[in-house]
Amino acid sequence: MPKLGRDSIPKKYFKLATLSNDPIVWEAKFNVGIAEIDRQHQDIVKLANEIQDSLATKTRKSGFVLEIMEKLEQYIVEHFAYEEGLMGNTRYPGLGAQKKEHAGFMKYVKELQEQYKNSIIDIRQILRFISSWFIDHIQGSDKRFAEWKSKL
C-alpha cells in the first residue's frame, strides 16, 4: 500500500490545499475556450462547492459527503476521458503528459479518500487539494491544449 499522509501529496498542492475553506468562485479566466470542457469544469466546481456548502451549513446527512465525493470522482474520471479523447482525436502532442497528470491526480484523490475513511484527514483537505490542483491544471495544461487546438 502506498505511503499515506502529507508526504504522498505533491508539496505544491498540499501547501495550496491548506489556504482556504472557501468555495471556488468560477471566474472567466478559468475558461479554456472549448465550450464542452469549460462546461464540464464548471460542473466539477459546482459538485465540489456542493460538498463544501454541506459542510459549512452542517446540513449533511450520514453518508452524504461520501456520496457526493464519489459522484465528483466519477464525473472527474469521465471528464478526463473526454479531454483525453479530444486530445487523441486532434493528435495533441502533449497527450501523454496530460494522461500522466490525470492519473497522478486520481492516485492522490484515492489516497486522500482512504485517509478520510480511516479518519486521518478531514474532507475539507480533500476538497482543498482537488480545488487547488484542478484550478492549477486548468490554467496550465488545459489552456495549453486549448491554445494548441485553436491553431488547427
Q: What mean pLDDT comes out for the span 117-127?
A: 77
* Per-residue pLDDT reduced to its tens digit, 51-86: 877 776 655 555 677 777 788 889 999 999 999 999
Region 31-60 average pLDDT:
84
Residue 40: per-residue pLDDT: 95
Nearest in space to 61 (alpha carbons), one of 48, 51, 71, 75: 51
Instruction: Check pLDDT > 80 for residue 5.
Output: no
Domains and CATH numbers, the chain: 33-150 (1.20.120.50)
Res 111: pLDDT: 85
For the entire predicted model, the pTM comes to 0.81
At a CB cut-off of 8 Å and minimum separation 6, what does 107 contact? 2
Q: Which of 10, 7, 41, 6 is nearest to 26 (CA)?
A: 41
Averaged pLDDT score across all residues of the chain: 81
Highest mean pLDDT among 17-31, 95-109, 113-127: 95-109
What b/e readout covers 45-63, taking b as 16+ CB neighbours within 10 angstroms? Answer: bebbbbbbebbeeeebeee
pLDDT > 90 fraction of the chain, expressed in percent and rounded: 41
